[in-house]
Amino acid sequence: MRYMVIENFHPGKVAAIYRRLEESGRHMPAGLTYVGSWITDDLVRCYQVMECDDPRLLDEWISHWADLTDFEVVPVISSAEAKNRALGTE
């Protein structure tokens, strides 16, 4: 399953986020896959896509970052999957 993870960085913490990332990596448990991410140009929000079969892995990963950012996790499907589902052609 794919998830859109929306991170709202705590005020003044973006540098700390990047320092932690550089020093110790993403802190992702086995089975959680990082697909890609995009940051708003004002450096206050991150949109990233993650994949895993067990959503508890996302909770574990989030626990390593919750002191620096707030998270919203939204299950997503591809546009092609949405079209097939909408048209009943799955």
67 vs 1: CA distance, rounded Å: 26
67 vs 10: CA distance, rounded Å: 8
State residue 89's pLDDT score. 86
Say which DSSP state 71 is in: E
7 vs 62: CA distance, rounded Å: 10
Question: Cα separations (Å) of 44 from 3, 16, 32, 74, 84?
Answer: 20, 13, 24, 19, 35
State residue 69's pLDDT score. 98
Q: Tokens 């973006």 label which residue? A: 14
User: What fold does the segment set 2-87 form as a domain?
Assistant: Alpha-Beta Plaits (3.30.70)
Domain regions of the chain by residue span = 2-87
Tens-level pLDDT at each residue, the chain (90 residues): 999 999 999 999 999 999 999 999 999 999 999 999 999 999 999 999 999 999 999 999 999 999 999 999 999 999 999 999 999 987
What global pTM score does this model have? 0.90
